[in-house]
Structure 1
Amino acid sequence: TLGIPSRAVMGVILSEDFSGEKDVFVYHMWVEALTNGRWILVDATRPQDFHPNRYIALAYHNLMTEMPIDYLRAVSAIQEMKITFIK
């Protein structure tokens, strides 16, 4: 490893176009890396459309242990969540 502290993040992102719908929040996972004392968002799946202000983190996991219950609860809660994007 490179020795850079990192964590998995589960949440939602605002997508301009997803399955034919415009401006919707969709479930997503990404990584954050600790650099110079700050957690920096890293998302290899969306390099062409990277806007950090479109991400809403709901749960974190350090990947050093088994999945915590809170993390799994957040995953199931997303199914019930409604977010409205107001331009």
Structure 2
Amino acid sequence: MLGRRLATLLISVEEQLADEVTQKILHEALTEAMAALREVTFYRFYHVFRQGELESLITSVPSMKVVQSSFEHGNWCVVVEKTAS
């Protein structure tokens, strides 16, 4: 009876230690990964359309037509409708 109680206590301690070690390893790995990400520079590239350029691209697709065109936030944008071509 006492042996079983001790065995269950030992398993619990082993499981607890395993959880603590796992958490420590995960924490260290995540800390290292986040530090590496902070050193990376991300670049964003986008195309700035000239007036009429975007509409020209859209009209070259037979199944699309431009509904509205406008200039917003330094670039041209369009509302496009799919047609039944």
For the superposition of Structure 1 and Structure 2, which TM-score range results when normalised by the shorter chain? under 0.3
More strand by share: 1
TM-score by length of 1: 0.22
Q: Say which structure is richer in helix.
A: 2
- What is the TM-score normalised by the length of structure 2? 0.22
Mark the structure with the bigger radius of gyration: 2
Bigger RCO of structures 1 and 2 (CA < 8 A, at least 6 apart)? 1
